[in-house]
């Protein structure tokens, strides 16, 4: 029996261990996880085993009225949206943006659960010659709730958790900007990130990866449940729902929406300058947003594609064969049936 009901813990979800044989199979492909995985709540959100340790801390995290969460399923335009939101909220402070890496401006709420203790020990051993790097490592891999508790200024919080796994009063107290993207582009981008980052260390081929993704056997899945939870709240005054495809098509319009959501007003010249700052070409060259700290600490694998990749919509066509394309069409149609959700490019 692999079920734990967590009745003695201060959170409402049931957390179940993934069956050992399946966990072993998955760990042979995702080499950064060394214990196993769990499925959380009625929708069975798929997370590393270490989530058990942080579940209560996240659920019961004290919120502040000026907290801003940027939430998404991974590789949906999160980093792009983070910089956009931060710049708008901070009145276009380019100097500060350039000086402070995005990883420091936005603690990653649940990243620590993706850093297995044995992996962390390897990172410590590899960086032990530098006190500076060890401090950076602790900053990056320590529990997000602890990092956030130490911040005295306005907090900007990155998360890939679905709405149902965030603190229950998040929309009563704070604000959330959620960004969604075509799952076919998401899975291509996330495949490359899983190959790039040692905490996941994926070693299989793309088709194998895709099949785990659509079977909800990959981090933060099920994808469509994740998306639908935010979509259902899209009219809430404290949640702004964005599409990656809209950012690609009309970035100035997206800037205006974010500005209105945060109570800011900028001139056309200011919007044009921010659009240039956020352009993919400039983003790729921006060390502040490119997770250089992860590279410095050896958490990224040399030779793989960079953290900021092509930044375009529709690139999935370079990866999907006819069988996968038909499979994706059915999967998307099945999951959107009886909903009013549509990706902008599919309308």
Q: What is the pLDDT of residues 32-84, one digit of tens each?
A: 999 999 999 999 999 999 999 999 999 999 999 999 999 999 999 999 999 99
Mean pLDDT, the chain, integer: 91
Residue 43 lies in a domain: no
Residue 41 lies in a domain: no
Query: How many percent of the chain have pLDDT more than 70?
Result: 93
**Angle at Cα 334 formed by Cα 47 and Cα 243, nearest 5°?**
65
Residue 38 lies in a domain: no
pLDDT at res. 310? 54
Residue 24 lies in a domain: no
**What is each CA distance from 119 to 161, 190, 291, 298, 336, in whole angstroms?**
22, 20, 18, 11, 38
At 282, is the pLDDT very low, low, confident or very high (cuts 50, 70, 90)?
A: confident
Residue 288 lies in a domain: yes
The b/e string for 92-126 (b: 16+ C-beta within 10 A; e otherwise) is: beeeebeeebbbebbbbbbbbbbbbeebbeebeee
Instruction: Give the length of the chain.
Output: 347
Looking up residue 301, the CATH number of its domain turns out to be 3.40.50.300
Residue 42 lies in a domain: no
327-345 mean pLDDT: 93
pLDDT at res. 6? 45
The yes-or-no verdict on residue 121 having pLDDT over 60 is yes
Q: Return the number of other C-beta atoms located less than 10 Å from residue 327's C-beta.
A: 15
Instruction: Single out the residue of 53, 55, 57 nearest to residue 45, CA to CA.
Output: 55
At 2, is the pLDDT very low, low, confident or very high (cuts 50, 70, 90)?
A: very low
Residue 131 lies in a domain: yes
Residue 259 lies in a domain: yes
> What's the CA gap between 53 and 9, in Å, rounded?
10
pLDDT at res. 301? 79
> Over the stretch 154-167, which tens digit does the pLDDT of each residue have?
999 999 999 999 99
Structural domain count, the chain: 1
> What's the CA gap between 84 and 234, in Å, rounded?
19
Cβ contacts of 315 within 8 Å, gap of 6 or more: 185, 188
> What's the CA gap between 248 and 122, in Å, rounded?
39
Query: How many percent of the chain have pLDDT more than 90?
Result: 80
Q: What's the pTM?
A: 0.92
Cis before 222? omega within 30:
yes
Question: In DSSP terms, which residues pair with 72 in a beta bridge?
Answer: 179
Instruction: Single out the residue of 218, 208, 118 nearest to residue 160, CA to CA.
Output: 218
> Over the stretch 125-175, which tens digit does the pLDDT of each residue have?
999 999 999 998 988 899 999 999 999 999 999 999 999 999 999 999 999
Tell me how far the alpha carbon of residue 70 is from its chain's centroid. 9
At 307, is the pLDDT very low, low, confident or very high (cuts 50, 70, 90)?
A: very low
Q: Give the structural domain span for 170.
A: 62-346
């Amino acid at each position: 029996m692999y079920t734990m009901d967590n009745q003695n813990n201060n959170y409402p979800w049931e957390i179940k261990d993934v069956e050992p044989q399946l966990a072993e199979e998955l760990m042979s492909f995702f080499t950064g996880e060394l214990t196993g995985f769990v499925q959380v709540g009625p929708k069975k959100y798929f997370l590393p085993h270490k989530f058990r340790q942080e579940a209560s801390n996240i659920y019961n995290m004290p919120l502040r009225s000026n907290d801003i969460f940027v939430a998404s399923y991974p590789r949906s335009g999160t980093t792009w949206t983070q910089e956009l939101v931060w710049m708008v909220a901070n009145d276009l402070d380019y100097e500060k943006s350039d000086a402070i890496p995005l990883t420091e401006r936005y603690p990653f709420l649940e990243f620590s659960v993706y850093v297995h203790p044995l992996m962390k020990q390897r990172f410590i051993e590899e960086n032990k010659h530098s006190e500076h790097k060890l401090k950076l490592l602790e900053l990056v891999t320590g529990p997000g709730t602890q990092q956030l508790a130490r911040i005295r200024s306005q907090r900007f919080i990155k998360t890939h958790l679905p709405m149902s796994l965030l603190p229950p009063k998040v929309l009563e107290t704070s604000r959330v900007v959620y960004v969604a993207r075509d799952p076919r582009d998401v899975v291509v981008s996330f495949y490359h990130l899983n190959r790039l980052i040692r905490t996941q260390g994926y070693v299989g081929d793309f088709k194998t990866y895709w099949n785990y993704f659509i079977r909800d056997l990959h981090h933060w899945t099920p994808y469509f449940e994740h998306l639908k939870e935010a979509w259902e709240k899209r009219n809430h005054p404290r949640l702004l729902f964005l599409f990656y495809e809209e950012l690609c098509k009309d970035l100035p319009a997206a800037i205006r929406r974010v500005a209105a959501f945060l109570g800011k007003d900028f001139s056309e010249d200011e919007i044009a300058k921010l659009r240039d700052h956020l352009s993919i070409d400039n983003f790729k060259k921006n060390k502040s947003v490119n997770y250089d700290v992860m590279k410095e600490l050896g958490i990224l694998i040399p030779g793989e594609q960079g953290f900021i990749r092509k930044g375009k919509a529709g690139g999935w066509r370079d990866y999907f064969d006819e069988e996968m394309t038909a499979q994706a069409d059915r999967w998307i149609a099945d999951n959107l049936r009886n909903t009013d959700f549509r990706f902008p490019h599919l309308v």
